[in-house]
Amino acid sequence: MKFLDLAKVQIRSGAGGSGCISFRREKYVEFGGPNGGDGGRGGDVWAEAVDGLNTLIDFRYQQHFFAKSGRPGEGQQKTGRDGDDITLRVPVGTEILDEDQETVIADMTELGQRVLLARGGNGGWGNVHYKTSTNQAPRRANPGQEGIERNIWLRLKLIADAGLVGLPNAGKSTFLSATSNARPKVADYPFTTLHPNLGVVGVDDAEFVIADIPGLIEGAHEGRGLGDTFLGHVERCAVLLHLVDGTADDPAEDWQTIVDELQAYGGGILADKPRVTAMTKVDSLDAELRQMQQEALETVAGPVYPISAVSREGLAEVLRALRSQISGDRLRQKASEEDEDAPWSP
């Protein structure tokens, strides 16, 4: 299934049905009077966070969601049928934005959460409501209220406890595949990862979710490379794991590049999050070069965890460092041994 994290849709609630102008006509009833019924109410447009979805791809093929209008009233004071509601089924973590893409209408962070996006129009009154002592035969009824039509944006922000950030080929996807059952694509060219991946990792009888996003480069906030829009998927994380390639010419400069992009993302959303720094691919370095690269990185980043996804050196230590930054209510009990081999799906 293709991954899509941004979609524009048009919604419209149903219009109310018109009221009816009708009079009672029965044999031997000379003055029957008005008996026009009210129109039915228009359907609402709802959004609901459901389980089993991890992409907005369905909204690429259907962008219009129109609720049914109410039926008009009838004689004998019969009220018209209400219009059917319509529900947009979205993944947990979807943010619903107004047409300006800035105003947040709702943030669907909990399974089963429902939000009313557009209320249906009220049905019009039939002429039975206008009968008075001086107007025994009113020929007046109200039209139904119009529905609400608007364009909205759906933006998916994955629900994860920790997020991986770094330059392309810093080893983010390799780290995820080595510590979880996720199997992201791993290759030796930049931007191998084109869409986010999630994986569940376990350490010390606790489990948490890690999100891997496409790599950042200098100027990503200006649209270079794949841009920085994917950083939205780590906004909800409690901690970021900053991976730096230990085989790079200047690890300190690479670290600073990512820090600058996190700051440029705006609002301190990511720049102020707790970060754990790890130097990857240390299995490819001899002892002297490894020490030199780690010392250079620690001068700007503070404590650094040397890790290798190939030899699995340091993986447990860095996972414990991440776990210590995640509150207990976000952690889950580690699955039993017979369930550990089952792949996790968001």
Judge whether 247 is annotated as a binding position.
no
Judge whether 281 is annotated as a binding position.
yes
Judge whether 282 is annotated as a binding position.
yes
Judge whether 300 is annotated as a binding position.
no
Judge whether 193 is annotated as a binding position.
yes
Judge whether 91 is annotated as a binding position.
no
Judge whether 229 is annotated as a binding position.
no
CA–CA distance, 198 with 177 (Å, rounded to integer): 10
Judge whether 191 is annotated as a binding position.
yes
Characterize the bridge pairing of strands 275-280 and 239-245: parallel
Judge whether 280 is annotated as a binding position.
yes
HEC-encoded secondary structure of the chain? CCCCCEEEEEEECCCCCCCCCCECCECCECCCCECCCCCCCCCCEEEEEECCCCCCCHHHHCCEEECCCCCCCECCCECCCCCCCEEEEEECCEEEECCCCCCEEEEECCCCCEEEEECCCCCCCCHHHHCCCCCCCCCCCCCCCCCCEEEEEEEECCCCCEEEECCCCCCHHHHHHHHECCCCCCCCCCCCCCCCEEEEEEECCEEEEEEECCCCCCCHHHCCCCCCHHHHHHCCCCEEEEEEECCCCCHHHHHHHHHHHHHHCCCCCCCCCCEEEEEECHHHCCHHHHHHHHHHHHHHHCCEEECCCCCCCCHHHHHHHHHHCCCCCCCEECCCHHHCCCCCCC
Judge whether 167 is annotated as a binding position.
yes
Judge whether 56 is annotated as a binding position.
no
Judge whether 192 is annotated as a binding position.
yes
Judge whether 306 is annotated as a binding position.
no
Judge whether 23 is annotated as a binding position.
no
Judge whether 22 is annotated as a binding position.
no
CB 211 within 8 A of CB 195: no
Judge whether 234 is annotated as a binding position.
no
N residues, the chain: 346
CA–CA distance, 15 with 29 (Å, rounded to integer): 36
Give the orientation angle of helix 251-264 with respect to helix 287-301, to 10 degrees.
Answer: 30
Judge whether 212 is annotated as a binding position.
yes
Binding positions are: 166-173, 191-195, 212-215, 280-283, 308-310
Binding positions for Mg(2+) are: 173, 193
Binding positions for GTP are: 166-173, 191-195, 212-215, 280-283, 308-310
